[in-house]
Structure 1
């Protein structure tokens, strides 16, 4: 288990400031976001951030793009631009979203197009040695464990995976069930503890829950990143405190 942060956690900080924080927290890597820190098409910036990250002994865990499968109106950048930027960044993985609609409202034709696009970008990325990762997220086709699993089975591409994160408004038991349902495809994990984006809590108060999630995810012994994403009050002191909790969780899970 490797530990890291999504740079979107601190959109108001520059790459150097984020790297300094990550080093203070003794994490392993950074998922650089495509919205602020490394926008698609900014090749020189991507190379500079890559060099800066590695010069400080950190890894680029992934590129957090905001590409939405088959959403030709909602995507500001085409996937080839995103892929090229990920290459310059030296990212081994690209995170994307499974469309722009929830599973209850997506029609058959939209679903087919989404699957086709997933296969298309997975092929493109595979040629560059980069993997594609959906995000388990509401208002997309991965908004439930049933829909996410069905989608991954229909895509059926060895280069497509999924990030897991705890859905809101369901029980711990249901969250663990979602992990088990998606286990063959789970790569990295986004870790946070909140009732909602606007009502976040200290990670320590959810440590018992997260121990269960991580133990279930890590049963296969695969190497993956657990990436901190957003903290209470966007506060760097809270981030450092949450990072200590994350280290404690890693120690517990790896000795279980």
Structure 2
């Protein structure tokens, strides 16, 4: 199974799209997940088309569109702009969020709204040949592996999956148990090393975790994007080093 190594543009928010592309290409990465917060604003189709062209010209692929659409919480009409940008960007996947509160803090009505809105957005995206994947994140309904699996089962759409990343302050062994539980429901991975809380370290500081995680992903038998997200100090000068580490960890 092929692991495609790339970069989330949010890693380098201080650079323009051209700078992100240059940094990713110089680091020997293969693809970019373009964020909707700065580089490819939702609904701005001209920017999306320009970024796609520049990405492909540099020999990189568009991995996905990192939207900030929160199912069941964001105005449903806003998904139209997200989808149009994703189409113009040539993104095969849109990252969305499962609501705006954790599982324990979300009412049954709120949960039902997330599920219904995800089904609606998933159908619209599928018509455009795009699939959805939830951010795997605290303070949403994907605030744990078992909770994420339950949510995906309730949604009941195989074209709605989840990202994975190491949960904050969770020991390696427990993080890997969660990844094993999610199995083939993982659409892509955000790679970084935080410990404790959001303290950023080089990827090598959690090499054992990442080597085991990448071995697991390889065993799923399907292509997988592994995207560097938060590098120390958001510094493009360390990106090449982090990319080398990721390639080393992904090598068999």
- State if a TM-score over 0.5 links the two structures: yes
Q: Aligned equivalents of 1:173 and 1:198: distance in 2? A: 19
2:80 corresponds to 1:80: yes
2:180 matched residue in structure 1: 180
Deviation at 1:72, TM superposition (A): 3.6
Q: CA RMSD in A?
A: 1.3
Deviation at 1:184, TM superposition (A): 2.6
State the SS of the aligned residue for 1:220. coil
1:51 matched residue in structure 2: 53
User: Could you list the runs of 5+ residues in structure 1 that have no partner in the other structure?
Assistant: none
State the SS of the aligned residue for 1:226. strand
1:29 matched residue in structure 2: 31
What's the TM-score, normalizing by structure 2? 0.96
State the number of aligned residues: 250
User: Could you list the runs of 5+ residues in structure 2 that have no partner in the other structure?
Assistant: none
Give CA-to-partner distance per residue, 1:20-56, whole Å, 9 cap, x none.
1111111110000000000011111110000000011
State the SS of the aligned residue for 1:96. strand
2:145 corresponds to 1:121: no
Q: Aligned equivalents of 1:243 and 1:45: distance in 2? A: 27
2:190 corresponds to 1:204: no
Deviation at 1:217, TM superposition (A): 2.1
1:70 matched residue in structure 2: 72
What's the TM-score, normalizing by structure 1? 0.95
1:163 matched residue in structure 2: 163
State the SS of the aligned residue for 2:161. strand
2:195 matched residue in structure 1: 195
Q: Aligned equivalents of 1:141 and 1:22: distance in 2? A: 32
Give CA-to-partner distance per residue, 1:115-160, whole Å, 9 cap, x none.
1111100000000000100011000000011211110110110210
Deviation at 1:181, TM superposition (A): 1.3
Q: Aligned equivalents of 2:242 and 2:19: distance in 1? A: 18
**Kept after mapping to 1: 8 A contact 2:49/2:88:** yes
Q: Structure 1 segments of 4 or more deviating over 6 A? A: none
1:41 matched residue in structure 2: 43
1:17 matched residue in structure 2: 19
Deviation at 1:196, TM superposition (A): 5.2
2:9 matched residue in structure 1: 7
Q: Aligned equivalents of 1:211 and 1:174: distance in 2? A: 15
